[in-house]
């Protein structure tokens, strides 16, 4: 399956059949394209999808960023670049693509339950950003929604949608089956003592 050259990697969950991944290419392309547009908008303007700027950096953050030679006029969520570079489009089910952050952050540590210090994940950084800002960094505007809808309408035929629905049903049945198997193994282990 070939992705257009849009500057973002993609991946699919390992339990999604290759045929389903091929059928879902349009979803991956839309998710990846919107993610790249969002990254560029935030890095260049510090604005969310609604057009409002994110909260400004605190005084101490502006000072620290200034010492590092980083821009301070708006919040771009970029310090080393690993956060934005870790962004990937991910096929989470045969009919659902999303954008995720992978890997570890270049800076920032947290303690594990065993007391060991490990680097924070980029996914954890994304959750922190989401909790502190008034809008998601991935909110999109009406123009982007219209373009994505138009693109999908041109790519997804009735036959593709029918095949995707069948793949989605099989995927969900497989997920429920694996969950039931895990519960059964746990119950058997509890009975054995």
Q: How far apart are CA 42 and CA 25, in angstroms?
A: 26
* pLDDT of amino acid 3: 43
| Whole-prediction pTM | 0.79
In a domain, 4, yes or no: no
| 147 is a domain residue | yes
What is the reported pLDDT for 132? 86
Range of the domain at 106: 9-192
Residue 2, in any domain of the structure: no
| pLDDT at position 94 | 92
Decide if 66 is inside a domain: yes
HEC string for the chain: CCCCCCCCEEEECCCCCHHHHHHCHHHHHHHHHHHHHHHHHHHHHCECCCCCECCCCCHHHHHHHHHCCCCCCCCCCCCCCHHHHCEEEEEEECCEEEEEECCEEEEEEEECCCCCEEEEEHHHHHHHHHHHCCCCCCCCCHHHHHHHHHHHHHHCCHHHHHHHHHHHHHHHHHHHHHHHHHHHHHHHHHHHC
* Mean pLDDT in consecutive groups of 10 residues from the start of the chain, 193 residues: 58 84 90 90 91 91 93 92 90 91 81 79 86 86 89 92 94 94 94 86
* Residue 162 located in a structural domain: yes
Total number of domains in the chain: 1
* 3 belongs to a structural domain: no
């Amino acid at each position: 399956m070939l992705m257009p050259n849009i500057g973002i990697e993609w991946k699919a969950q390992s339990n999604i059949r290759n045929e389903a991944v091929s059928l879902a290419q349009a979803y991956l392309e839309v998710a990846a394209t919107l993610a790249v547009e969002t990254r560029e908008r935030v890095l260049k303007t510090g604005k969310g999808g609604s057009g409002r700027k994110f909260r400004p950096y605190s005084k101490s953050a502006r000072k620290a960023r200034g010492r590092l030679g980083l821009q301070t006029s708006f919040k771009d969520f970029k310090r080393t670049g690993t956060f934005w570079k870790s962004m990937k489009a991910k096929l989470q089910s045969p009919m659902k693509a999303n954008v995720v952050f992978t890997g570890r952050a270049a800076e920032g540590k947290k303690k594990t339950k065993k007391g060991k210090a490990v680097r924070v994940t980029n996914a954890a950084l994304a959750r922190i950003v989401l909790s502190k800002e008034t809008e998601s960094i991935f909110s999109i505007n009406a123009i982007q929604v219209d373009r994505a809808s138009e693109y999908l309408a041109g790519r997804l035929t009735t036959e593709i949608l029918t095949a995707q629905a069948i793949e989605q049903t099989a995927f969900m049945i497989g997920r429920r089956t694996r969950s039931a198997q895990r519960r059964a193994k746990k119950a058997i282990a509890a009975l054995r003592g």
